[in-house]
Chain A
Amino acid sequence: MRFMVMVKATKDSEAGMLPDQKLLADMGKYNEELVKAGVMLAGEGLQPSSKGARVRFSGSKRTVIDGPFSETKELVAGFWLFQCKSLAEAIEWVKRCPNPMPTESEIEIRQVFESEDFGAEFTPELREQERRLGEQMARNAASRQ
């Protein structure tokens, strides 16, 4: 199963402060360990929300809101995608991560849905719909290129 592992933003990360050399080195070592264990599928760091935007939906209306956003602790500053056997394993790996921020910080772990997870709610009809959507997306992608 896969897990999205998200490093939450802090005031510093939102201010665009970059990690110091030691943290970079420690993170590099940690990433290397993840790769060596065959756990890390992907991972990236994100720019502060001041360089991002939001699109708010209200019925058929769309409003674009430019960053930065105020609720710092709810923002994401970086992420990994892990392949693990269980949530417990993902937790154990995250516990080994160096503190990703110079201040107090938090890492959130969320399991990625696989189509089997939808269980009975994911009826053959819905699967069929998902299949058609997928087809459409592939066609669209093909026609764009």
Chain B
Amino acid sequence: MSDVNSAIDAVWRIESAKVIASLARITGDVGLAEDLAQDALLAALERWPESGIPDNPGAWLMATAKHRAIDMHRRSKLLERKHELLGHELADRQELSVSDLETALDDDIGDDLLRLMFTSCHPVLSTEARVALTLRLLGGLTTDEIARAFLVPEPTVAQRIVRAKRTLSEARVPFEVPRGSDRDERLSSVLGVIYLIFNEGYSATAGDDWMRPALCEDALRLGRILAELAPNEAEVHGLVALMEIQASRLRARTGPKGEPILLLEQDRGRWDQLLIRRGLTALARGEQLGGERGPYVLQAAIAACHARARTAEETDWERIVALYDALAELTPSPIVELNRAVAVSMAYGPATALELVEPLQSEPALKNYHLLPSVRADLLMKLKRFVEAKSEFERAASMTRNSQERALLLERARTCELENQRENKHVGSN
């Protein structure tokens, strides 16, 4: 790729969301807005290699897209007039003059970006569609980049985006920041999409690499942007704090051969102190806003307990259990219960924890969740019930789709077998 092309790419990544957001407000149609912005990008790719990159490339892209929008508006006006002559009724669309369009483009961009986030994560869309649209419209990723990040063929992602844009248009989803009771639910959808992107990078559900840090960076960036767009939402800061603190461990989470290293075995000297500090600051920002602590603030507070402990032994497990209690009360789920059980085992011993895990065995939601047998195996191992532990590790290994994680689980199963043999020998020699 030439220097100019990579510079155009960079400009696009910086400017595209703003251009799309502005156009979406004017046209009221996110899909159309993206098409117009893409037209402007094509124009830049055509012109900039010869003319050089303009001093203010963002303004250039915006102006070009704006002209396309005005042209299109004029054409549709013309069309409407013809229709009128033919006796057709005017479409019930919003009336806009060209000067409206021009002033609209100069308004503050922040609200538009926030609208774009809410629209891309609208509940009318499937989760996959929300993820793809958010990365594309707000993260500035290409279809190809999204496809590679999620290990799906490019046409699948392209299809998802086309369909998502059509769905938004057909459902006449308004381009707005929802208010009132709707707002909380819609915000939690936005947060959910960003965290899902982060998690896909943090512990890939499929493939050979356990982590894809670039996706974590994309999610973090979206979260940081959102925190500035909606600074009064405690949960936004909670999510950012959670992601910053989790990302601080990225370097410590894999060994020399790419194998996963569990939290308590990680070398804390490799944790990224800059991200930890940013995470703790974001958490404080969220907590300062007051109100009842939401699920992201609570999860961030749990992550912060680990971040603050200089060694694994110093972890304040009792506090973590209390935070999980609050989380379980707020958002009861078998997965929260499972995590709570892990904290309980650290604070009050594996036997107490195992009692909490047993009822989860019949949870349909955890039927295919490899961490259930994995946690259970870990507790059984600590209780020296090696035979049961071994078969649970093997069951967990057969359930994960990630090859690195499978290798780790199988190794732990082997350890159980060795421990068991040693124990038997020991008994035999007595």
Residues of A within 8 A of B (CB): 35-39, 41-42, 81, 83, 85-86, 88-89, 91-93, 114-115, 124, 127-128, 131, 133-138, 141-142, 145
Contact = CB atoms under 8 A, between A and B. Distances in A.
A134 B6 contact: no
A89 B256 contact: no
Nearest to A116: B213
Contacts of B269: 133-138, 141
User: Which of A36, A39, A83 has the most chain B CB atoms inside 10 A of its CB?
Assistant: A36
Interface string B7-51: 101110110000000000000000000000000000000000000
User: Which of A35, A81, A124, A138 has the most chain B CB atoms inside 10 A of its CB?
Assistant: A138
Contact of A138 (B225, B229, B268): B268
A141 B6 contact: no
A128 B256 contact: yes
Given A38-B223, A86-B6, A91-B10, 14 more contacts: A37-B225, A38-B220, A41-B278, A86-B10, A88-B7, A88-B9, A92-B11, A92-B14, A124-B256, A128-B256, A134-B269, A135-B267, A136-B269, A142-B310
6 contacts: A35-B224, A35-B228, A37-B225, A38-B222, A85-B217, A88-B3
B335 to A, nearest CB: 28
Contacts of B310: 138, 141-142, 145
A28 B372 CA distance: 50
A131 B7 contact: no
B270 interface: yes
B257 A89 contact: no
A77 to B, nearest CB: 21
Interface of B: 3, 6-7, 9-11, 13-14, 57, 110, 217, 220-225, 228-229, 251, 256-257, 267-270, 274, 278, 310-311
Given A124-B256, A138-B267, A41 B311 contact: no
Contacts of A134: 267, 269-270
A42 B270 contact: no
A20 to B, nearest CB: 23
Contacts of A124: 256-257
Given A41-B278, A128-B256, A138 B13 contact: no
Q: Which label, helix, strand, loop or mixed, suits the secondary structure of the A interface? A: helix
A114 B268 CA distance: 17
Contacts of A115: 251
Contacts of B3: 88
A124 B223 CA distance: 34
Contacts of B11: 92
A141 B251 CA distance: 19
A145 B308 CA distance: 13
A61 B6 CA distance: 46
Contacts of A141: 269, 310
Nearest to B257: A124
Contacts of A133: 269
A141 B225 CA distance: 34
B222 A131 contact: no
A85 B220 CA distance: 12
A133 B268 CA distance: 11
A138 B265 CA distance: 13
B311 A142 contact: yes
Contacts of B10: 85-86, 88-89, 91-92
A36 B114 CA distance: 12
B217 A83 contact: yes
A86 B7 CA distance: 10
Given A91-B10, A115-B251, A138-B311, A41 B268 contact: no
A141 B223 CA distance: 31
A91 B57 CA distance: 13
A31 to B, nearest CB: 12
Contacts of B278: 41
User: Which of A39, A88, A134 has the most chain B CB atoms inside 10 A of its CB?
Assistant: A88
A138 B311 CA distance: 8
A36 B229 CA distance: 8
A142 B229 CA distance: 38
User: Which of B6, B14, B310 has the most chain A CB atoms inside 10 A of its CB?
Assistant: B14
User: Which of A37, A91, A145 has the most chain B CB atoms inside 10 A of its CB?
Assistant: A37
User: Which of B3, B57, B217 has the most chain A CB atoms inside 10 A of its CB?
Assistant: B217
